[in-house]
Amino acid sequence: MADVAVVGFKELDAALAEIPASLRRNVVLAALRKASQPIVRDARARARRGMDPRRRGSMKQRKSGESLRIGPGADSIAARAIPSSVATEASVTVGPDARHWYMKFLEFGSARQSPARFLTPAFEVNKEAAVQLAGEELWKTISATARRLAKQAEAGTLSRKALEGLRS
């Protein structure tokens, strides 16, 4: 297990408080997506690729030709935002999309197949870099958002929602 030291949460929280509440989640999600890119790249590189289009998808998909468009599951690995019912919560998941559900059998194995891990090693190798990158990206996105809001406020084109958020 690795120890990760995080410094600057108070400053980060103060900087996030300066941004309207309606924009905070999007700012954090943008930073998390960028921070997860090393994990995504590594997982794509580690994932096994099936190249035979006749063996992809269901029988119906193969007969209709849709299996040609499904493509290798490794290319579908991406960072996606997870919906949350709490406005102050933001999280990102890394993995294949819903059309490539079979990739879970590669990662975890099945009764007839041993696991060929690609996500777990990618996470283990890149988790510390992702935490570091998340902090850097948060500062970048916060400052970029603040500059954009200042420019919009100066020009008088600030949205009503952002204006209400800045007043509160």
Q: What is the pLDDT of residues 58-114, one digit of tens each?
A: 677 667 766 555 557 888 899 999 888 877 788 899 999 888 888 888 899 989 889
**Cβ proximity of 95 and 79 under 8 Å:** no
Average pLDDT over residues 139-147: 85
Share of the chain above pLDDT 90, in %: 24
| Predicted pLDDT at 96 | 92
